[in-house]
Amino acid sequence: MNAGETQRVPWIVGVSGASGTPYAAAVLRALLDAGESVDLVVSRASRLTLLDETGISFRDAHWQADLREWLSRGADGKPGTFAVGIDRVRHWNAGDLAAGPSSGSYPVKGMLIVPASTACVAGVALGLSKDLLQRAASVTLKERRPLVVAVRETPLNGQTLRHLVTLDDAGASVVPASPAFYAGATHIQDLVDFVAGRVLDAAGVPHGLYRRWTGELGGGDATRPTRAPSE
């Protein structure tokens, strides 16, 4: 780094194999809109999910073109919905255990795993580090940096629940991918953005992805009359 230059300190975004690639896309777009830098780790399993949910093949040799296509799509799959620049994104192969995020000396702000599969949750909770995604999460925990885990599965069995408690005890924020409806969602993108917004809330990243609760009933639908308390 030359004198006068600001050190790049990114957020790591890990995408695991759970269903919910639109959540990851929404988080990535919002981070970039907020002026943040991103280190992206896309697991092998998530590439199959991405192909199944969007028809996009995420290839290491063509990751920039594939990422642009992915982030340009809305949650309904329509291409060209968003215009996104990816100049602040750095991609790391999930099998590269010598990558920057595998070391605690590599400067990052924290890590967001979205969506997080139960297999990913188990691997991080048990400290397996079988790939770069899990290794980066383990490093994030040991360095006491923010780790947000957006788990996407239902129902959850006891073993997964215990793994989530382990992550909570270790300092991670567990954010289930559970859309809410009080913000007045009228489109699938609104529901996706709500979950992405809650992920960013847990990380402390400013955004405008959803309308926040104001304490007034009926705020989610301006055309719907507020019910009397006795009803």
Q: What is the mean pLDDT of residues 95-120?
A: 98
d(Cα 227, Cα 231) in Å, to the nearest integer? 7
| Closest CA relative to residue 77, chosen from 102, 52, 96, 97 | 52
Whole-number pLDDT of residue 13: 98
Pairing assessment for the beta strands 110-116 and 147-151 based on DSSP bridges = parallel
Whole-number pLDDT of residue 40: 98
Whole-number pLDDT of residue 216: 83
Whole-number pLDDT of residue 84: 93
Two structure tokens written together for 230: 């006795």
Res. 226: pLDDT tops 50: no
d(Cα 231, Cα 211) in Å, to the nearest integer? 26
Two structure tokens written together for 111: 């890590």
Q: What is the mean pLDDT of residues 142-165?
A: 97
Confidence of residue 1 (pLDDT cuts 50, 70, 90): low
Q: What is the mean pLDDT of residues 31-51?
A: 98
Res. 228: pLDDT tops 90: no
What residues contact 119, with CB distance under 8 A and at least 6 apart?
16, 17, 45
Tell me the pTM: 0.92
Whole-number pLDDT of residue 2: 60
- 169-202 pLDDT per residue, tens: 999 999 999 999 988 899 999 999 999 999 999 9
- 64-87 pLDDT per residue, tens: 999 999 999 999 999 999 999 999
Tell me the average pLDDT of the chain. 93
Confidence of residue 217 (pLDDT cuts 50, 70, 90): confident
Whole-number pLDDT of residue 191: 97
Q: What is the mean pLDDT of residues 99-106?
A: 98
Q: What is the mean pLDDT of residues 147-176?
A: 98
